[in-house]
Structure 1
Amino acid sequence: MMRSPTLGVSACLFRADSVLLVERARPPFQGLLSLPGGRVEWGERIETAVAREVEEETGLAIPRFAFYCLHEAIEPDVHAVIAVHRAAEAVAPGVEPVAGDDARSVRFVEIAALPGLAAAGRLTAGLAEIVAGAHRDHLLGL
Protein backbone atom coordinates (compact mmCIF):
# COMPACT_ATOMS: atom_id res chain seq x y z
CA MET A 1 0.00 0.00 0.00
CA MET A 2 1.42 3.35 -1.04
CA ARG A 3 1.05 6.11 1.51
CA SER A 4 1.34 9.85 0.99
CA PRO A 5 2.11 12.65 3.45
CA THR A 6 -0.73 14.69 4.90
CA LEU A 7 -0.83 18.41 4.12
CA GLY A 8 -1.53 20.45 7.21
CA VAL A 9 -1.54 24.02 8.47
CA SER A 10 -0.77 25.60 11.82
CA ALA A 11 -0.55 29.11 13.20
CA CYS A 12 1.42 31.09 15.75
CA LEU A 13 -0.87 33.53 17.58
CA PHE A 14 0.96 35.86 19.92
CA ARG A 15 -0.02 38.03 22.86
CA ALA A 16 2.96 39.97 24.23
CA ASP A 17 5.61 37.31 25.00
CA SER A 18 3.18 34.39 24.90
CA VAL A 19 1.96 32.05 22.17
CA LEU A 20 -1.39 30.29 21.96
CA LEU A 21 -1.08 26.50 22.28
CA VAL A 22 -3.65 23.73 22.22
CA GLU A 23 -3.40 20.43 24.04
CA ARG A 24 -4.24 17.79 21.44
CA ALA A 25 -7.29 15.68 22.33
CA ARG A 26 -6.75 13.02 19.64
CA PRO A 27 -3.97 11.16 17.88
CA PRO A 28 -1.59 11.92 16.45
CA PHE A 29 0.16 13.87 19.18
CA GLN A 30 -2.64 13.32 21.72
CA GLY A 31 -1.83 15.04 25.02
CA LEU A 32 0.96 17.20 23.59
CA LEU A 33 0.91 20.97 23.34
CA SER A 34 0.94 22.22 19.76
CA LEU A 35 0.10 25.19 17.60
CA PRO A 36 -3.55 25.30 16.56
CA GLY A 37 -3.98 23.68 13.18
CA GLY A 38 -4.91 20.58 11.25
CA ARG A 39 -5.44 19.05 7.83
CA VAL A 40 -6.12 20.92 4.63
CA GLU A 41 -9.36 19.60 3.11
CA TRP A 42 -9.66 18.56 -0.54
CA GLY A 43 -10.17 21.65 -2.72
CA GLU A 44 -9.44 24.05 0.15
CA ARG A 45 -6.86 26.81 -0.17
CA ILE A 46 -4.14 26.86 2.47
CA GLU A 47 -5.03 30.38 3.64
CA THR A 48 -8.65 29.27 4.10
CA ALA A 49 -7.58 26.11 5.94
CA VAL A 50 -5.44 27.95 8.48
CA ALA A 51 -8.24 30.40 9.35
CA ARG A 52 -10.76 27.55 9.60
CA GLU A 53 -8.54 25.35 11.77
CA VAL A 54 -7.67 28.21 14.13
CA GLU A 55 -11.35 29.08 14.56
CA GLU A 56 -12.38 25.43 15.05
CA GLU A 57 -9.72 24.80 17.69
CA THR A 58 -9.69 28.14 19.53
CA GLY A 59 -12.94 29.95 18.71
CA LEU A 60 -10.90 32.92 17.43
CA ALA A 61 -11.74 34.42 14.04
CA ILE A 62 -8.39 35.77 12.85
CA PRO A 63 -8.68 37.83 9.65
CA ARG A 64 -5.12 37.64 8.29
CA PHE A 65 -2.16 35.31 8.45
CA ALA A 66 1.34 35.46 6.98
CA PHE A 67 3.12 32.30 5.82
CA TYR A 68 6.15 31.57 7.99
CA CYS A 69 7.71 28.20 7.02
CA LEU A 70 7.18 24.57 6.11
CA HIS A 71 7.64 22.00 8.86
CA GLU A 72 7.71 18.23 8.51
CA ALA A 73 6.44 15.95 11.24
CA ILE A 74 7.74 12.45 10.52
CA GLU A 75 7.23 9.63 12.98
CA PRO A 76 6.45 5.92 12.55
CA ASP A 77 2.73 6.47 11.85
CA VAL A 78 2.79 10.13 10.79
CA HIS A 79 4.21 12.09 7.88
CA ALA A 80 2.76 15.57 7.72
CA VAL A 81 3.98 18.57 5.77
CA ILE A 82 2.72 21.59 7.69
CA ALA A 83 2.47 25.12 6.32
CA VAL A 84 3.13 27.20 9.45
CA HIS A 85 1.67 30.71 9.57
CA ARG A 86 1.55 33.51 12.07
CA ALA A 87 -1.31 35.87 12.73
CA ALA A 88 -0.70 39.24 11.11
CA GLU A 89 -1.58 40.96 14.40
CA ALA A 90 -1.32 40.04 18.07
CA VAL A 91 -4.36 38.69 19.86
CA ALA A 92 -5.82 41.59 21.83
CA PRO A 93 -5.95 41.49 25.63
CA GLY A 94 -9.37 40.39 26.80
CA VAL A 95 -9.97 38.22 23.73
CA GLU A 96 -9.97 34.71 25.15
CA PRO A 97 -9.77 31.45 23.22
CA VAL A 98 -12.16 28.55 23.83
CA ALA A 99 -11.06 24.96 23.16
CA GLY A 100 -12.86 23.24 20.29
CA ASP A 101 -13.53 19.52 20.05
CA ASP A 102 -10.03 18.72 18.71
CA ALA A 103 -8.40 20.31 21.75
CA ARG A 104 -8.44 19.27 25.41
CA SER A 105 -7.45 22.79 26.36
CA VAL A 106 -6.17 26.00 24.85
CA ARG A 107 -4.03 28.63 26.57
CA PHE A 108 -1.36 31.26 26.13
CA VAL A 109 2.07 30.00 27.21
CA GLU A 110 5.11 32.19 27.86
CA ILE A 111 7.61 31.74 25.04
CA ALA A 112 10.43 31.57 27.60
CA ALA A 113 8.81 28.40 29.04
CA LEU A 114 8.87 26.50 25.73
CA PRO A 115 12.42 25.04 25.95
CA GLY A 116 11.60 23.52 29.35
CA LEU A 117 8.31 22.10 28.06
CA ALA A 118 10.17 20.66 25.06
CA ALA A 119 12.79 19.04 27.33
CA ALA A 120 9.95 17.50 29.37
CA GLY A 121 8.42 16.01 26.22
CA ARG A 122 5.26 18.14 26.41
CA LEU A 123 5.53 19.84 22.97
CA THR A 124 5.27 18.57 19.43
CA ALA A 125 8.71 18.27 17.81
CA GLY A 126 10.23 21.51 16.59
CA LEU A 127 7.58 23.76 18.14
CA ALA A 128 9.89 25.78 20.40
CA GLU A 129 12.24 26.67 17.52
CA ILE A 130 9.40 27.54 15.14
CA VAL A 131 7.73 29.80 17.70
CA ALA A 132 11.01 31.56 18.57
CA GLY A 133 11.64 32.42 14.91
CA ALA A 134 8.06 33.44 14.18
CA HIS A 135 7.97 35.61 17.32
CA ARG A 136 11.19 37.34 16.26
CA ASP A 137 9.65 38.12 12.85
CA HIS A 138 6.44 39.27 14.56
CA LEU A 139 8.38 41.70 16.75
CA LEU A 140 10.32 42.99 13.73
CA GLY A 141 7.10 43.48 11.80
CA LEU A 142 8.19 41.14 9.00
Structure 2
Amino acid sequence: MLEPQKIKIFLEICPDEKTADIAFSLVEKVTAVVVKIIGKDGFNALYARSLSLTVPTFPWLAVSVMTLQDDDMLVLLKNSFVAQPPAAIRVASSLLLITFSDILCQLVGDQLTARILHDAFGGEIVEAVLGERRES
Protein backbone atom coordinates (compact mmCIF):
# COMPACT_ATOMS: atom_id res chain seq x y z
CA MET A 1 0.00 0.00 0.00
CA LEU A 2 1.28 3.48 -0.78
CA GLU A 3 2.07 5.48 2.30
CA PRO A 4 0.91 9.09 1.92
CA GLN A 5 3.95 10.56 3.65
CA LYS A 6 6.38 8.66 1.40
CA ILE A 7 4.72 9.82 -1.82
CA LYS A 8 4.66 13.36 -0.50
CA ILE A 9 8.35 13.18 0.43
CA PHE A 10 9.28 11.76 -2.97
CA LEU A 11 7.43 14.54 -4.80
CA GLU A 12 8.81 17.22 -2.48
CA ILE A 13 12.39 16.34 -3.34
CA CYS A 14 11.90 16.82 -7.06
CA PRO A 15 12.67 20.25 -8.50
CA ASP A 16 9.68 22.52 -9.09
CA GLU A 17 10.27 22.61 -12.84
CA LYS A 18 10.07 18.80 -13.02
CA THR A 19 7.15 18.25 -10.63
CA ALA A 20 4.47 17.98 -13.32
CA ASP A 21 6.53 15.55 -15.41
CA ILE A 22 7.46 13.35 -12.46
CA ALA A 23 3.91 13.30 -11.06
CA PHE A 24 2.55 12.41 -14.48
CA SER A 25 5.21 9.75 -14.92
CA LEU A 26 4.08 8.05 -11.70
CA VAL A 27 0.48 7.95 -12.91
CA GLU A 28 1.58 6.77 -16.35
CA LYS A 29 3.64 3.92 -14.89
CA VAL A 30 0.76 2.71 -12.74
CA THR A 31 -1.54 2.94 -15.76
CA ALA A 32 0.70 0.75 -17.92
CA VAL A 33 0.90 -2.04 -15.36
CA VAL A 34 -2.76 -1.98 -14.32
CA VAL A 35 -4.01 -1.96 -17.93
CA LYS A 36 -1.99 -5.12 -18.61
CA ILE A 37 -3.76 -6.86 -15.72
CA ILE A 38 -7.36 -5.63 -15.83
CA GLY A 39 -7.57 -4.03 -19.26
CA LYS A 40 -8.30 -0.49 -20.32
CA ASP A 41 -11.96 -0.57 -19.27
CA GLY A 42 -11.04 -1.88 -15.82
CA PHE A 43 -8.38 0.76 -15.45
CA ASN A 44 -10.77 3.49 -16.63
CA ALA A 45 -13.32 2.43 -14.01
CA LEU A 46 -10.73 2.55 -11.21
CA TYR A 47 -9.29 5.81 -12.48
CA ALA A 48 -12.73 7.40 -12.77
CA ARG A 49 -13.55 6.42 -9.19
CA SER A 50 -10.20 7.73 -7.96
CA LEU A 51 -10.74 11.03 -9.77
CA SER A 52 -14.30 11.38 -8.49
CA LEU A 53 -12.97 11.06 -4.93
CA THR A 54 -10.09 13.47 -5.60
CA VAL A 55 -11.99 16.16 -7.55
CA PRO A 56 -13.78 17.67 -4.52
CA THR A 57 -10.37 18.64 -3.15
CA PHE A 58 -8.85 19.52 -6.54
CA PRO A 59 -11.63 20.70 -8.90
CA TRP A 60 -9.11 21.39 -11.69
CA LEU A 61 -8.89 17.61 -12.19
CA ALA A 62 -12.59 17.49 -13.19
CA VAL A 63 -11.86 17.95 -16.90
CA SER A 64 -10.24 14.49 -16.86
CA VAL A 65 -13.37 12.93 -15.40
CA MET A 66 -15.67 14.45 -18.02
CA THR A 67 -13.59 13.15 -20.93
CA LEU A 68 -12.45 9.89 -19.36
CA GLN A 69 -13.47 7.71 -22.30
CA ASP A 70 -11.14 9.60 -24.62
CA ASP A 71 -7.88 7.90 -25.49
CA ASP A 72 -6.31 11.18 -24.48
CA MET A 73 -7.21 10.89 -20.79
CA LEU A 74 -3.58 10.83 -19.65
CA VAL A 75 -2.81 13.80 -21.89
CA LEU A 76 -5.65 15.67 -20.21
CA LEU A 77 -4.25 14.81 -16.81
CA LYS A 78 -0.78 15.96 -17.84
CA ASN A 79 -2.22 19.22 -19.14
CA SER A 80 -4.05 19.66 -15.83
CA PHE A 81 -0.78 19.20 -13.96
CA VAL A 82 1.15 21.61 -16.17
CA ALA A 83 -1.39 24.37 -15.56
CA GLN A 84 -0.98 24.17 -11.77
CA PRO A 85 1.74 25.32 -9.38
CA PRO A 86 4.17 22.62 -8.19
CA ALA A 87 2.74 22.53 -4.65
CA ALA A 88 -0.77 21.79 -5.97
CA ILE A 89 0.57 19.11 -8.32
CA ARG A 90 2.42 17.41 -5.48
CA VAL A 91 -0.61 17.22 -3.23
CA ALA A 92 -3.13 16.35 -5.96
CA SER A 93 -1.02 13.62 -7.56
CA SER A 94 -0.24 12.13 -4.15
CA LEU A 95 -3.92 12.02 -3.27
CA LEU A 96 -4.84 10.61 -6.68
CA LEU A 97 -2.24 7.81 -6.47
CA ILE A 98 -3.11 6.99 -2.87
CA THR A 99 -6.83 6.90 -3.65
CA PHE A 100 -6.22 4.74 -6.71
CA SER A 101 -4.03 2.29 -4.78
CA ASP A 102 -6.53 2.11 -1.90
CA ILE A 103 -9.34 1.20 -4.30
CA LEU A 104 -7.14 -1.32 -6.08
CA CYS A 105 -6.19 -2.82 -2.73
CA GLN A 106 -9.85 -3.25 -1.79
CA LEU A 107 -10.41 -5.12 -5.04
CA VAL A 108 -7.35 -7.34 -5.29
CA GLY A 109 -5.78 -7.31 -1.82
CA ASP A 110 -2.62 -5.94 -0.25
CA GLN A 111 -0.16 -8.41 -1.73
CA LEU A 112 -1.23 -8.06 -5.35
CA THR A 113 -1.51 -4.27 -5.03
CA ALA A 114 2.00 -4.11 -3.58
CA ARG A 115 3.29 -6.25 -6.47
CA ILE A 116 1.49 -4.12 -9.07
CA LEU A 117 2.93 -0.92 -7.59
CA HIS A 118 6.37 -2.48 -7.34
CA ASP A 119 6.20 -3.43 -11.03
CA ALA A 120 4.93 0.03 -11.93
CA PHE A 121 7.46 2.08 -10.01
CA GLY A 122 10.49 -0.17 -9.75
CA GLY A 123 13.93 0.55 -8.31
CA GLU A 124 14.58 3.99 -6.93
CA ILE A 125 10.94 5.02 -6.94
CA VAL A 126 9.96 1.92 -4.98
CA GLU A 127 12.46 2.81 -2.31
CA ALA A 128 11.41 6.45 -2.20
CA VAL A 129 7.65 6.00 -2.55
CA LEU A 130 6.93 2.59 -1.08
CA GLY A 131 9.80 2.49 1.38
CA GLU A 132 10.81 -1.00 0.31
CA ARG A 133 14.39 -2.21 0.10
CA ARG A 134 15.67 -4.03 -2.91
CA GLU A 135 16.31 -7.66 -2.26
CA SER A 136 19.89 -8.75 -2.90
How high is the TM-score relative to the length of structure 1? 0.27
Task: Name the structure where strand makes up a greater proportion of residues.
Answer: 1
* TM-score, normalization by structure 2: 0.27
Compare the two structures and name the one with the higher helix fraction: 2
